[in-house]
Amino acid sequence: MSLYAFPPEPQVAVPVAGRDTLFPVRRLYCVGRNYAAHAREMGFDPDREPPFFFCKPDNSIVVAPPGQTVEFPYPPQSANVHHEIELVVAIGQGGRDIPVEQALQHVFGYAVGLDMTRRDLQFKMRDKGRPWELGKAFDHSAPIGLIHAAEDIGHPASAAVWLQIDGADRQRSDIDALIWSVPEVIANLSTYFALQPGDLIYTGTPEGVGPVERGQVIQGGIDGLGEISVRVV
């Protein structure tokens, strides 16, 4: 007889590139406005204010394997859903108050991800001083490609990041344009939360965010981390 009142959901996991292993997901942290040009297009001053964070549930993950196009159901209660292409950091070693110079020792690997956003609900909540969950933390809102282990690829400090809709460029930048670097993000985040193996950090999106419509195909990638393909349905 089970101890649970009902069967628990399976462990959310992301495949690791080149290996027969899965990365078990614990939490999803996201960094807001971490590229200067994107901060400007959202109407904010891109000076280096301390980074701020929000979360998505682990089951918002949608794994997009290489060579496959996965589905992203257009979410309810929104008429303005945006794409945001991002570098994702996978934490393999936990810690609290992690020094910047030691932060990369806590990284298991990297992936390309999408922070899909109900922009109309995000702005509505933001303007009322309320949390962003309705705009950010909905089902299927975090597509992700395979995780590439740092011991295989190193720690990329510069790599082209791009996104297209039906083959037309929407976002194109480089991860070296991050306002707060990966080590700085990890160090700052770990002052608020004890990071644990299995945590994912979506590090922010460059400029060019915009709406998606049903039937469109979103393709994006980061050099060295592969590509993802998502169809809006």
CATH code, domain with 139: 3.90.850.10
pTM reported for the whole predicted model: 0.95
Quote the domain boundaries for residue 54.
Answer: 13-232
Residue 222 DSSP one-character state: E
> In this structure, is residue 160 part of a structural domain?
yes
The pLDDT, as a whole number, for residue 224 is 97
Is residue 7 in a domain?
no
Take residue 140 and report the two structure tokens written for it: 């299927």
Q: Dihedral (C-alpha) 119, 86, 199, 74: value to the nearest 10 degrees? A: 40
Q: How do residues 48-97 score in pLDDT, each as one tens digit?
A: 677 789 999 999 999 999 999 999 999 999 999 999 999 999 999 999 99
123-148 average pLDDT score? 93
Secondary structure (3-state) at 104 = helix
- For residue 187, being part of any structural domain is answered with yes
Q: Is residue 141 part of a domain?
A: yes
- Predicted pLDDT of residue 201: 98
State how many domains the chain has. 1
1 in a structural domain: no
CA distance 193 to 203: 16
pLDDT tens string 5-26 = 999 999 999 999 999 999 999 9
- 105 CB burial (10 A radius; 0-12, 13-18, 19+): middle
125's enclosing H/E stretch is helix 119-127
Q: Is residue 3 part of a domain?
A: no
> Measured between alpha carbons, how far is 224 from 111 in angstroms, rounded to an integer?
9
The answer to whether residue 66 is domain-embedded is yes
Q: Is 182 a domain residue?
A: yes
Burial 58-80 (b: 16+ CB within 10 A, else e): bebbbbbeeeeeeebebbeebee
pLDDT band at 46 (very low <50, low <70, confident <90, very high): low
Q: Give the pLDDT confidence score for residue 50 in this predicted structure.
A: 77
